Amino acid sequence: MKKLFITSFALAISFKGYSMMRALNTAATGMATQEMNVSTISNNVANLNTTAYKKQRAEMEDLLYETVTEAGARSANNTMYNVGLQVGSGSKVSAVRKEFIQGAPQVTNNPFDLMINGQGFFGIIDENGQTLYTRDGSFNVDSTGNLVNKQGYRVFPGFTFPPGTKSVNITANGTVEVFLQGQVQPNVVGQIPVFTFINQVGLKSAGGNLYRLTASSGEAIQNIPGQSNSGRIQQGALESSNVTIMNEMTNLIRAQRAYEMNSKVMGVADQMLQTVNNIR
């Protein structure tokens, strides 16, 4: 009888130690999740004044569960468990979602500053001839008269202003009109399209306010601005970041407190495990 009691006691201690190790691992996943959450929030705050920046949101999900008692399993000959018993193993960040809510307009009166009022992106041709996409319409003209972005990439499909250009007018539907010296009527040099995507959240950030299409985003759909649910172009204005500093600070406090609570859980589990180890 004494030997059976010792064996049962040892098994109980072993199970308790396993439970504490599981609690340590679970708390560790919670701390890692909140660390990623804080990194996402810090990136939003860092881009508070970035032109047309779209804030990001970390999305979490729970991990696998250990089923101790299955709901509906028999508890006796004629009864069953109405509620099961499952023990979770923590959480992880499953996605960081971009929120493409339009930012507030910032009037600059620069004729080469463009803003899309509504959905859509400008097309940008990089040095390899590939098309990237952006909401940042802070364009300029290079030494050869090409309309380019800050990195010197040409605006799709390519616009060259002739020598002697006096002024430039870009209409809401993207038509680029050039007024030359000594001419009353403008010359049309092209039309700026607006690109939309079936799943714009699936776009991949490439840095420099640029996005790349992915298999998730689908192919780019080229539109005349203002048609097919695409936005219209506003000349002389830029889109501000859609980050709200008060919301980000609130989310930061919540993430910090969650991190602290997970670290507290880890400390409590460590103390309980130490107590188990000191039993002789």
Separation between Cα atoms, residue 17 and residue 11, nearest integer Å: 10
* Helix (H) and strand (E) counts in the chain: 2, 20
Residue linked to tokens 């002739």 = 162
Which tokens belong to 41?
């929030």
Q: Per this entry, what is the length of the chain? A: 280
The amino acid sitting at 51 is T
DSSP state of 237: E
DSSP state of 129: S
* Separation CA 41–CA 208 (nearest Å): 19
Query: What is the spatial distance between Cα 1 and Cα 13, in angstroms, rounded to a whole number?
Result: 18
Token representation of residue 250: 């609130």
User: Cα 21 to the chain's mean position, in Å?
Assistant: 33
Is there a contact between 88 and 62 (Cβ–Cβ < 8 Å)?
yes
Q: What's the one-letter identity of residue 42?
A: S
Give, for all 280 residues of the chain, the pLDDT tens digit.
444 444 444 434 444 455 667 888 899 999 999 999 999 999 999 999 999 999 999 999 999 988 888 998 888 888 998 898 889 899 999 999 999 999 999 999 999 999 999 999 999 999 999 999 999 999 999 999 999 999 999 999 999 999 888 999 999 999 999 999 878 888 999 999 999 999 999 999 999 999 999 999 999 999 999 999 999 999 999 999 999 999 999 999 999 999 999 999 888 887 887 887 777 6
